């Protein structure tokens, strides 16, 4: 898509980790570990020279107190120079979309040519309601509305 200055922006490749139901096979996986895994695999699949990456922009659905900047953690992989700027952002479920949009904007503005953009979320980093206690579960039936009599 051409930007205001005529620069074209393209998504060259994508990579994701498997997804599954919360509390199953990835229940102990941390968001930062999944992010590193996806980034490492993307570099491998594309034969991307890490020195070509100008920025890392990473969305975090639920930020962690232990790893508040997953973008920086991804940029510290051995494939990338330590000097490249990296940051994380949070737009809840739209974090991946916002990371890609921010990458697009940086390229259109001429601030970068190659950006690694992505997002991660891992269920163990935040509490979840047991199904029976969930405010939206079927076990909590809504009370019937009272009708006003005329």
Q: What does the pLDDT look like over 6-55, one tens digit per residue?
A: 788 999 999 988 877 777 888 888 889 999 999 999 999 999 999 999 99
pLDDT tens figures, 75-121: 999 999 999 999 999 988 899 999 999 999 999 999 999 999 999 88
Residue 118 lies in a domain: yes
Beta-bridge mates of residue 59 = 89, 119
- Answer with the residue of higher pLDDT: 143 or 104: 104
Residue 137 lies in a domain: no
Spatial distance between the Cα atoms of 104 and 5, rounded to a whole number of angstroms: 13
Residue 93 lies in a domain: yes
Residue 105 lies in a domain: yes
Closest alpha carbon to 99 in 34, 27, 35? 35
Residue 95 lies in a domain: yes
Asked whether residue 142 carries a pLDDT value surpassing 60, the answer given is no
Sheet with 55-60, side-by-side order of all strands: 86-89, 55-60, 115-120
Spatial distance between the Cα atoms of 104 and 67, rounded to a whole number of angstroms: 25
Looking at residue 139, its pLDDT comes to 47
The domain in which residue 90 lies consists of 31-125
Residue 132 lies in a domain: no
Looking at residue 4, its pLDDT comes to 61
Looking at residue 149, its pLDDT comes to 47
Tokens at residue 60, please?
A: 């975090």
Looking at residue 132, its pLDDT comes to 56
Residue 22 lies in a domain: no
Q: Are 62 and 126 in contact (CB under 8 A)?
A: yes
Q: What is the CATH number of the domain that holds 118?
A: 3.40.47.10
Spatial distance between the Cα atoms of 104 and 42, rounded to a whole number of angstroms: 18
Q: What is the pTM of this model?
A: 0.77
Total domains, the chain: 1
Tokens at residue 84, please?
A: 């490249």
């Amino acid at each position: 898509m051409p930007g205001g200055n005529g620069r074209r922006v393209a998504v060259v490749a994508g990579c994701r980790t498997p997804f599954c139901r919360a509390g199953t096979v990835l229940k102990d996986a941390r968001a930062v570990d999944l992010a590193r895994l996806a980034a490492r695999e993307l570099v491998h699949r594309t034969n991307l020279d890490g020195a070509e990456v100008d920025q890392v922009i990473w969305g975090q659905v639920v930020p962690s107190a232990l790893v508040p900047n997953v973008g920086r953690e991804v940029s510290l992989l051995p494939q990338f120079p330590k000097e490249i700027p990296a940051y994380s952002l949070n737009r809840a479920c739209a974090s991946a979309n916002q990371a890609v949009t921010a990458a697009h904007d940086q390229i259109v503005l001429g601030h970068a040519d190659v950006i690694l953009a992505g997002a991660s979320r891992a269920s163990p980093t935040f509490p979840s309601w047991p199904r029976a206690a969930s405010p939206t579960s079927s076990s909590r039936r809504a009370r019937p509305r009272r009708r006003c009599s005329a």
